[in-house]
Structure 1
């Protein structure tokens, strides 16, 4: 029975992820698709339970009157059938409705519903533009995702369960009291008015406090995670105290939102107690007065007073449920600001997979600015650049920081869209093909290759998930990683290829991470290869050993390489010299030296094989 209800809602729908709407109701409905029939069922059972409870209270008053007016010997003959139906309602119908409601809530919704939201939101965020992740703490994004999923569930379920139950129950109680005598309904109407005003005044404030608290919590978590992620830097600069102060600042901000929330909660509790005392007292006093004057039978008092006491008991629960509802609404609103953002780079309608037949690459009059504001028109990182790369040609990009080299690579990977011009691979405009197929055709090794916190085997096989053990072993040998991998071990006792690399590969040295990254790209075996300071983290001995392997890796591929050590790319087929977003020279190493231009000056300025930046150069933006 439990498993049947658990299977009613798929926690992992395979529909293509879409950007959620930014409106609160539309956002909740967007993530409630699929769960809506079960939410409606919860609302229906809640309404029926409320009606059943009110019917029982009404019968209680009639029963008191029957007991007062009917001789015991005639009671069952006159009242037996109705008593049996009330017993069925009490002992069978209401328990069955409660069981159904509990199974739907606990088995179908409470677990599957937020998991479904996490899954859909995570799939959308994975396809977000690179700039989105560069502008946010990873810990903050994860916190927003987790707390928003739970908040959406709570908003949807409280509206469909608690709000429906309370509305039906109060309406029924008011009607029942009025059916005895219209004056008995007055205390309930006055209480309902006061209760509504209390909800109207306090609950939205609690919602705003919750929204501020959600943002403060995410900021606090983000700062703490940032310190843990960069713990080596913290320790190298002996800045534990500084990080404490940095975290304390966000903790104080978070605690301030908690204090504001608790003040509102205390005001709510005090006011509600006064309202409840007035309801019970006035209901009892009015009922007794009407009974003593002979206006109503004793059964009316037996209905009004228990109803008032029941509402007294329920009111605190109702208030906290509504407070929690608005707190979760605040959390959802806060999450919308992070989750309901458009992708800056999207596949064109009808985009087809890229078909790489030769590997020719053409940059055609490409202009690009980071965060370009039409009113400000900042200096272009790339300015009308045109570059043709022949199939199988190996080119080296040369230039000081800010010349636009890494930006060129990022545009070819379509991490950003060009402002004007276009980029072609084998004649296909990359803006018109799918991003997944584009990046699948390009292998990249960067100077800061981070690894996933998974096994070394999984990190290498990331380039080709279906790779055989023999292919993985061949890739490790090619990357000169076969020697150190068997010596790796983690704190769980896993060794070699099974050892976990730690967050971003922190358990490995920079050179080891780089060799794993090279093995990963070797296994991918993409037709276009980009090397951005690929050997920068290697010592001279390992670099010399790996250069021959890199030659094998580059064989038959179109290669774009960047290196500040000009000696590492001097043997490329062609060197392309960039300055301030433009190509200023092209040729072989010997031709450029003979020309005596910028490349020759850069070569002459090298110290220890590294390129020294000129003081007048503007640093390339961080996105590059």
Structure 2
């Protein structure tokens, strides 16, 4: 089928070269357009044919008027074949060329190239560091990914179409006018220079203001999505008016930037419309005067008047196309600021997969400060034996969660190294490193997908029997069959809502445990895994955690010291260094920082000022 053939010309999901997209607008365009050069080359060729046919038809109208002066008998007998030829052009060649152009643009370029750009940008951005996403609105990042693809494609297609119409129409008109009488081309010559001059004045302003408007639109999108993503916080604190004002401020900024852009486009429109009026009047008046002097025929009057009116309409279209092109270029320029950023954490060249045999972990003189002055972790040494279960405790800001972040290589160390079975984590691939470490965090975030999809994140190729076994061990089979979403899906097929909001904290945590059980990684990190739960829910989940920890190297961080008191060894951090180490009983007997934290607990909770960070 013809549609499918054209749709197959560009593969939207072609594996990209994993490099940072260029930071300049010109090279950014070329980076993606080169990947679809054959489709654009065909569109350029077909576009040339379309423009030539259009001009030929207009040129024939003037000739037709002159040929008809001899009377119908002579006209049809002498010029019948020429009429049939132009009928073929109008009935066959023109529709065929236009259809080919539409198929190339609408079937090959619009859907596939747009989404190839989006797909490749997403693939690059999703591999950015954690800090990249923490420093921007998720909505703004997503908006820039989406709009950059469509804006780049739209402007590229418009440039191809506009070039031929401008060159062929204007060039052919000058030739046709000059053939009739050289003087007839003078108004068009003057118009071309004035038209180009106006574009040169207005377009740079439109481009700059379009970029500012696009930047403001991305900011507005980010604020709106941020509010929707945190709708519970908005309602709990009853700050609807405050949130409205927060969004209204960004909306007012975006409206102002958009108005500044549209002022320029309105001024350009008025200027070019006035200029076109001079072209129509000047060309028509000059053609009539030349006819009155016997220097041109009636056909030349019909041709010149009809063609300048066509050029007038075309110039208006070109003006809006050029305006649209540079508006899109501004959007692409805005997108580049997010997309074309170097990755802070990257696999080294030649990085090999991590191979875990025993699961021993060793931190050697590690330093990390999140780029801030002062220490978060400063010169820390820690060895965790294979199969050992250690608990990490300490006051807020001691560096406990940071220790987990650098182990997972969410951030790169400033100095020192981390070894797993004597393999430096900085020299292995990030994917293989994280595949060997199971993590249960305090703020369990589920994907807005089904229960089954969330659990399968632990092992995508797991069978239903393996899923059921993990769910049973996590004691999640007590509630999964009772779940239902708003669209009638039940049990494993029920969607959990954004970040899992349709489930209770205990339910989310059990799903997270089932997911990590299914993953069955040799190293396990529990980052305050039960701190968000009440005591009853924590007790219910503790058995699942005990099952989860069996046979693994475990690093556990907890608000509640009672949950890690049974660990093989406890490590006490303060200001990024280890100040104490030993079993619960040994540390209590030592009467140091751990003993003070333990004594300050009431009902198993650490006092607020000593809560971990």
Q: TM-score, normalised by structure 1?
A: 0.94
- Aligned residue for 1:174, secondary structure, equals helix
Q: How does 1:51-130 map to 2 (within 5 A)?
A: 51-68=52-69, 70=70, 72-76=72-76, 78-130=78-130
d(CA) in 2 for partners of 1:343 and 1:281?
A: 59
- Aligned residue for 1:466, secondary structure, equals coil
- Aligned residue for 2:42, secondary structure, equals helix
Q: Does 1:582 align with 2:577?
A: yes
C-alpha displacement at 1:78, in angstroms?
Answer: 4.2
Aligned to 2:545: 550
d(CA) in 2 for partners of 1:331 and 1:43?
A: 24
Q: How does 1:365-444 map to 2 (within 5 A)?
A: 365-372=365-372, 378-444=373-439
d(CA) in 1 for partners of 2:177 and 2:493?
A: 71
Check the 8 A contact 1:43/1:165 in 2, yes or no: no
Aligned to 1:462: 457
Aligned to 1:226: 226
C-alpha displacement at 1:54, in angstroms?
Answer: 2.2
Aligned to 2:13: 12
Aligned to 2:560: 565
C-alpha displacement at 1:73, in angstroms?
Answer: 4.1
Q: Does 1:38 align with 2:39?
A: yes
Check the 8 A contact 2:513/2:544 in 1, yes or no: no
Aligned to 1:264: 264
Aligned to 1:23: 24
Check the 8 A contact 2:450/2:493 in 1, yes or no: yes
> Which sits farther off after the overlay, 290-299 or 245-254?
290-299
Q: Which 5+ residue runs of structure 1 have no aligned equivalent?
A: 373-377
Aligned to 1:304: 304
Q: Does 1:471 align with 2:471?
A: no
> Which sits farther off after the overlay, 236-245 or 191-200?
191-200
Q: Does 1:602 align with 2:597?
A: yes
d(CA) in 1 for partners of 2:73 and 2:546?
A: 107
C-alpha displacement at 1:76, in angstroms?
Answer: 4.5
For this pair of structures, how many residues does the alignment match? 612
Aligned to 1:375: none
> Which sits farther off after the overlay, 226-235 or 163-172?
163-172
Aligned to 2:353: 353
Q: Does 1:343 align with 2:338?
A: no
Correspondent of 2:531 among 533, 536, 546: 536
d(CA) in 1 for partners of 2:549 and 2:500?
A: 25
Check the 8 A contact 1:400/1:613 in 2, yes or no: no
C-alpha displacement at 1:535, in angstroms?
Answer: 1.3
Check the 8 A contact 1:401/1:613 in 2, yes or no: no
C-alpha displacement at 1:27, in angstroms?
Answer: 0.9
C-alpha displacement at 1:541, in angstroms?
Answer: 2.6
Q: Which 5+ residue runs of structure 2 have no aligned equivalent?
A: none
d(CA) in 2 for partners of 1:504 and 1:129?
A: 20
Aligned to 1:199: 199
Q: CA RMSD in A?
A: 1.8
- Aligned residue for 1:610, secondary structure, equals coil
d(CA) in 1 for partners of 2:392 and 2:66?
A: 97
d(CA) in 2 for partners of 1:511 and 1:175?
A: 80
- Aligned residue for 2:395, secondary structure, equals coil
Aligned to 1:160: 160
d(CA) in 2 for partners of 1:604 and 1:539?
A: 20
Correspondent of 2:607 among 587, 607, 612: 612
- Aligned residue for 2:525, secondary structure, equals strand
Q: Deviations over 1:453-494 (max 9, x none)?
A: 111121112111122222222222222222122222111111
Q: How does 1:174-189 map to 2 (within 5 A)?
A: 174-189=174-189
> Which sits farther off after the overlay, 322-331 or 180-189?
180-189
Q: Which runs of 4+ in 1 moved over 6 A?
A: none
> Which sits farther off after the overlay, 82-91 or 279-288?
82-91
C-alpha displacement at 1:613, in angstroms?
Answer: 5.7
Aligned to 1:491: 486
- Aligned residue for 2:499, secondary structure, equals helix
- Aligned residue for 1:424, secondary structure, equals strand
- Aligned residue for 2:356, secondary structure, equals coil
- Aligned residue for 2:243, secondary structure, equals helix
> Which sits farther off after the overlay, 485-494 or 426-435?
485-494
C-alpha displacement at 1:175, in angstroms?
Answer: 2.2
Q: Deviations over 1:155-195 (max 9, x none)?
A: 11111222233223222222222222221111111111221
Aligned to 1:280: 280
Check the 8 A contact 1:397/1:560 in 2, yes or no: yes
Check the 8 A contact 1:122/1:145 in 2, yes or no: yes
- Aligned residue for 1:584, secondary structure, equals strand
